[in-house]
């Protein structure tokens, strides 16, 4: 149980987290579970889904798999209130480095994966919104790559820019239905994803130290800290919050620590 957060504010709510079997998604699924939600984890590799969650094998590139995963969650829980579109993949390179198929792969998972998830979930969210006003929401895991120019991340950044715009458009489309739509923009988060990137370096420990030194805080963001932001956006405390991107980046985006 995470003592830093209120418990029980998700009591009676049902949540679904894509990519919830690792890293940020697993931290979100764990926190929502600890705060009282019943949680389904949809993941292409669901082995790491947190204990006490409904683990469903589903790839977000398949409309059919997502529809059937959402249906399984609703059959199990009887309703759906909280959707977290978090599954995502990276791509390294400039526009010259990545061929069209790599762009399609990244956009298919990072953008269309959210579209497919929302399409399958919206009818259930609409039904839930009438009963639990303020408690029905979609939250996307976006990235500071949506708003800052990162080198060697052309396809990934374009995908996350699309996630930000999609979040705003969906917030406008569904506000009158009582469905809030927001995103979090994490900075560099200590997850297996970052571990894999560091693992490619000649000296992973030195690379990690250099990465930490580049953070305004001197450390990476913890997955739990991103989960706390997602839980806030999904909670009834955020009933007036929609169409918002909440940066959880240790000050990376907003701070200029050296004078010009
Ligand atoms: P991770 O690799 O640790 O976890 C990603 C999870 O998504 C895995 O469980 C994986 O199996 C699942 N997944 C990937 N593709 C899938 C697909 N097609 N269908 C279903 N499941 C799929 O990564 P993470 O660091 O926890 O990243 C999660 C999200 O956070 C991503 O959207 C990523 O872009 C975003 N993000 C991460 C960071 C970071 O520094 N780690 C920073 C900003 C944003």
C-alpha 259 – ligand 1 centre gap (Å): 35
Please check the confidence at residue 4 and state whether its pLDDT lies above 70: no
- Cite the active site residues: 156
Ligand 1 atom closest to 194 (CA)? 41
Q: Report the 10 Å Cβ neighbour count for 188.
A: 20
C-alpha 58 – ligand 1 centre gap (Å): 14
For a mutational test of ligand 1's pocket, the pick from 18, 19, 48, i.e. the residue with the most ligand atoms closer than 8 A to its C-beta, is: 19
C-alpha 62 – ligand 1 centre gap (Å): 17
Please check the confidence at residue 14 and state whether its pLDDT lies above 90: yes
Mean pLDDT of the chain: 95
**For the residues of 21-89, what is the DSSP string, one character each?**
TSHHHHHHHHHHHHTT-EEEEEESSGGGPPTTSEEEE--TT-HHHHHHHHHHHHHHHS---EEEE----
Please check the confidence at residue 258 and state whether its pLDDT lies above 80: no
Residue with CA nearest ligand 1 atom 36: 143
Structure tokens at 189: 């988060």
Task: Give the per-residue pLDDT at 1.
Answer: 44
Helix residue spans in the chain (DSSP H): 23-34, 63-77, 100-107, 113-131, 154-174, 192-199, 204-214, 223-234
Length of the chain: 260
- Using 50, 70 and 90 to split pLDDT, how confident is the model at 7? low
**Contact call for residues 82 and 10 (beta carbons, < 8 A):** yes
Of 170, 165, 182, 187, nearest to 231 by C-alpha is 182
Task: Give the per-residue pLDDT at 47.
Answer: 98
Residue 115 phi, psi dihedral angles, 5° rounding: -65, -45
Q: What is the pLDDT of residues 62-96, one digit of tens each?
A: 999 999 999 999 999 999 999 999 999 999 999 99
Buried b / exposed e over 124-140, threshold 16 CB at 10 Å, is bbeebbeeeeebbbbbb
Cα 169 to chain centroid distance, Å, stands at 17
Q: What is the pLDDT of residues 172-226, one digit of tens each?
A: 999 999 999 999 999 999 999 999 999 999 999 999 999 999 999 999 999 999 9
Q: What percentage of the chain carries pLDDT values higher than 90?
A: 92
C-alpha 50 – ligand 1 centre gap (Å): 15
**Dist. CA 237–CA 234, nearest whole Å:** 8
**pTM score > 0.95 for this model?**
yes
Mean pLDDT of 132-150: 96
C-alpha 92 – ligand 1 centre gap (Å): 15
User: Helices 192-199 and 204-214 meet at what angle, rounded to 10?
Assistant: 120
DSSP label of 153: B
Ligand 1 atom closest to 45 (CA)? 11
**Dist. CA 76–CA 143, nearest whole Å:** 32
Ligand 1 atom closest to 220 (CA)? 40
Structure tokens at 176: 């009158």
Lining ligand 1 with CB less than 6 A are 18-19, 21-25, 43-45, 59-61, 86-89, 109, 141, 143, 186, 188-189, 191-194
**Which residue is listed with tokens 């249906």?**
71
**Dist. CA 190–CA 139, nearest whole Å:** 20
Ligand 1 atom closest to 190 (CA)? 41
């Amino acid at each position: 149980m995470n003592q830093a957060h209120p418990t029980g504010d998700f009591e009676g709510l049902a949540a679904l987290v894509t990519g919830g079997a690792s890293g940020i998604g697993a931290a979100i699924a764990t926190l929502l579970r600890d705060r009282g939600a019943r949680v389904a984890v949809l993941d292409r590799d669901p082995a790491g889904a947190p204990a006490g969650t409904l683990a469903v094998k589903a790839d977000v590139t398949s409309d059919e798999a997502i529809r059937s995963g959402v249906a399984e969650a609703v059959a199990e829980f009887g309703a759906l209130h909280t959707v977290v579109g978090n599954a995502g993949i990276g791509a390294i390179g400039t526009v010259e480095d990545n061929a069209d198929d790599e762009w399609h792969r990244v956009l298919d998972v990072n953008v269309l994966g959210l579209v497919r998830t929302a399409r399958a979930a919206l009818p259930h969210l609409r039904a839930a919104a009438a009963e639990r006003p303020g408690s029905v929401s979609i939250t996307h895991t976006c990235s500071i790559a949506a708003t800052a120019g990162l080198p060697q991340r052309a396809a990934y950044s374009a995908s996350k820019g699309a996630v930000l715009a999609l979040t705003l458009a969906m917030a406008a489309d569904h506000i009158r239905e009582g469905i809030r739509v927001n995103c979090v923009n994490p900075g560099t988060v200590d997850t297996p994803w970052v571990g894999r990137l560091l693992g490619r370096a000649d000296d992973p420990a030195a690379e990690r130290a250099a990465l930490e030194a580049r953070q305004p805080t001197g450390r990476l963001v913890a997955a739990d800290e991103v989960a706390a932001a997602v839980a806030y956006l999904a909670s009834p405390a955020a009933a007036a919050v929609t169409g918002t991107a909440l940066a959880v980046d240790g000050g990376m985006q907003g701070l200029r620590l050296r004078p010009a």
